[in-house]
Amino acid sequence: MLQTYIFPMETRAHWDNTYTTKSDTQVSWYQPVPERSLALITSAAPDPSAAIIDVGGGASRLVDALLAEYYADITVLDVSEVALGRSRERLGDAAEKITWITADITRWQPQRTWDVLHDRAVFHFLTDKTAQDAYVAALMAATKAGSTIIIATFALDGPERCSGLPVQRYSAETLAARLGPDFSLYAASKETHPTPFGTTQQFSYAAFRRRS
C-alpha cells in the first residue's frame, strides 16, 4: 500500500538527492543488520501480530529484519520517495507486505496507531522547537497508551552534523525531558556505530512506554 502526504520541498529535495547520489554504503548511517533496534523491538513486542512503524526508515534494512521475524503489520515512513523505492526494490515481492508512507513526520496526520514506533536518526534533525513539537504531536497521534517508542539519536558526544545538516544531540534523559511526561523511559543505552568509512559515531538509544 502506498500513501503520500504533502511536505516542504526542501526537506524532500535534500533527502531525495542524498539517496539518488549515494549508494547504501556511501552514507554514514548504513547498518548491514540493525541489531540494537531489532532487539529493542522484539523484546517490546514479541508477538508478530504487533503493528510496527519505522519513522524515517529510509533504505534501512530494519524492515527486512522485521519480515524475517514474521511481523505481519509493518509500516515504513520517510520523506524521501527515492529511499522508500530503494527498499521496495531490494525486497522485491515481499515489499507488497509493507505499508509505505511518503510523508514529513512534522506534517503527517496518522490515520491509525501502532504498537511500536521506531526512529533511528530522524528526530535529531529537528533542531527548532516548532518542528520538535510537531513531531511529538505526530507521536501522540500514531501511538496509544502502552505503545513503545524507540528513538536513536546522536549522543551528547556524537557528531554535530549528519548528511550535511546540523543535529540536536541527546542522552536518553535529555530526550525523555524533551518528549515530556506522556512517555516513560524504560531502557537507555549507547552505541558506537561503525560507519562504512572506517570512522565511528556515538548514538544514544532510548525506549519509552506511553503512559496514557
Does 42 participate in binding ligand SAM (rule CB under 6 A)? no
Q: Which of 58, 6, 55 is nearest to 28 (CA)?
A: 58
Using alpha carbons, select from 134, 137, 151, 154 the residue that is nearest to residue 53.
151
Q: Which residues contact 99 (CB under 8 A, 6 or more apart)?
A: 1, 3, 74, 75, 76
Query: Can you tell me which of 42, 75, 87, 106 binds ligand SAM, judged by CB under 6 A?
Result: 106
- Which of residues 40, 44, 50, 60 is near ligand SAM by CB under 6 A? 60
Measured from the CB atom, the residue of 47 and 129 that comes closer to ligand SAM is 129
Is 105 or 176 the residue whose CB approaches ligand SAM more closely? 105
Residue 201: all three cell numbers together: 559515531
Burial 178-200 (b: 16+ CB within 10 A, else e): bbeeebebeeeeebebeeeeeee
Instruction: Kindly state the cell numbers that stand for 37.
Output: 533496534
Interaction of residue 58 with ligand SAM, rule CB under 6 A? yes
Site for ligand SAM in 77-96 (CB under 6 A): 78-80, 83
Binding status of residue 158 toward ligand SAM by CB under 6 A = no
Residue 113 or 163 with smaller CB distance to ligand SAM: 163
Q: Does 170 bind ligand SAM (CB under 6 A)?
A: no
Total residues at interface with ligand SAM (CB under 6 A): 20
Strand partners, 19: none
Q: Which is nearer to ligand SAM, 9 or 181 (CB)?
A: 9
Check binding of 204 to ligand SAM (CB under 6 A): no
Cβ distance to ligand SAM smaller for residue 49 or 109? 109
18 to 22, 58, 65, 84: CA distances (angstroms):
6, 11, 24, 13
Contacting positions for ligand SAM (CB under 6 A):
11, 15, 29, 56-58, 60, 78-80, 83, 104-106, 120-122, 125, 162-163
